């Protein structure tokens, strides 16, 4: 795919793919990722492609990071079809996670050479975007030391994870991203040990479950992109 070039290193192209199959979205984001890497490799002083933020929702799918354990998928492959789900091994960090309808998935493809070369800061900034969104719904979300993602009631006996994060970097260009449970069917988490964390220790939640009503996904996307632009100090680029 071909993308418009421009000279502003702080511009972000926001692409909403809507409801899309995981493999299609994977190909889409990796094509953009490779374009950025190739341009950096061939002519790093003339980097002109914009950063990208891809937003989407997926049909039911489980993905396993390169450091994950396949036994954390607790439904066998033969029964995946019975719940209309698929399974993919991918090259992000982290363990197993779930994507599905009602979940906001965000894939930032950023050249961190143009922003900051700090993986820890990058992940913390992604978390902060979601924390700020949740503040708008009067929910106090936090981080748990040593565990990536965004959590509710972290001091309780059963903290609830509402957003998972898993990233991959190549030549400081980011891939993969986050999954924010907005109106997700949480029953699908019963078929995995999310991020390798036992449900006896911690559980998962969604915005719908916390508020008691379905939330307009477009409202959530607008809030998320607002804070993403602010926190990464970017501006939206449009044709």
pLDDT tens for 156-168 read 888 999 999 989 9
Residue 43 pLDDT class (50, 70, 90 cuts): confident
Residue 42 pLDDT class (50, 70, 90 cuts): confident
Domain 11-231 -> CATH class: alpha beta
CA nearest 36: which of 51, 26, 53, 16? 51
Q: Averaged over 211-227, what is the pLDDT? A: 98
Residue 235 has pLDDT above 50, yes or no: yes
Residue 141 burial by Cβ neighbours in a 10 Å radius (0-12, 13-18, 19+): buried
Residue 97 has pLDDT above 80, yes or no: yes
Tell me the DSSP string of 30-66: HHHHHHHHHHHHH-GGG--BPEEEEEEE-SSEEEE-T
> Is 56 part of the annotated catalytic residue set?
no
What SS3 state is found at 177? strand
Active-site option among 52, 129, 163, 195 = 195
């Amino acid at each position: 795919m071909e993308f418009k070039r421009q000279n502003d290193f702080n511009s972000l192209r926001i692409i909403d793919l809507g409801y899309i199959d995981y493999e299609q979205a994977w190909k889409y984001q990796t094509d953009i990722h490779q374009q950025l890497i190739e341009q950096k490799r061939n002519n790093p002083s003339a980097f002109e492609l914009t950063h990208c933020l891809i937003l989407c929702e997926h049909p039911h799918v489980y993905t396993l990071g390169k450091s994950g354990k396949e036994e954390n998928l607790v439904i066998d492959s033969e029964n995946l079809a019975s719940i209309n789900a698929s399974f993919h091994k991918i090259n992000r960090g982290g363990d197993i996670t779930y994507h599905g309808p009602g979940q906001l998935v965000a894939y930032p493809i950023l050249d961190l050479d143009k922003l900051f070369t700090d993986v820890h800061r990058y992940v913390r900034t992604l978390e902060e975007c979601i924390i700020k969104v949740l503040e708008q719904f009067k929910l106090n979300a936090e981080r748990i030391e040593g565990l990536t993602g965004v959590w509710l009631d972290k001091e309780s006996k059963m903290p609830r994870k509402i957003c998972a994060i898993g990233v991959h970097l190549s030549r400081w260009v980011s891939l993969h991203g986050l999954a924010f449970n907005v109106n997700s069917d949480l029953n699908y988490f019963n078929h995995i040990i999310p991020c390798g964390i036992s449900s006896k220790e911690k559980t998962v939640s969604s915005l719908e479950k916390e508020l008691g009503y379905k939330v307009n996904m477009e409202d959530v996307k607008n809030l998320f992109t607002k804070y993403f632009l602010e926190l990464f100090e970017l501006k939206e680029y449009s044709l």
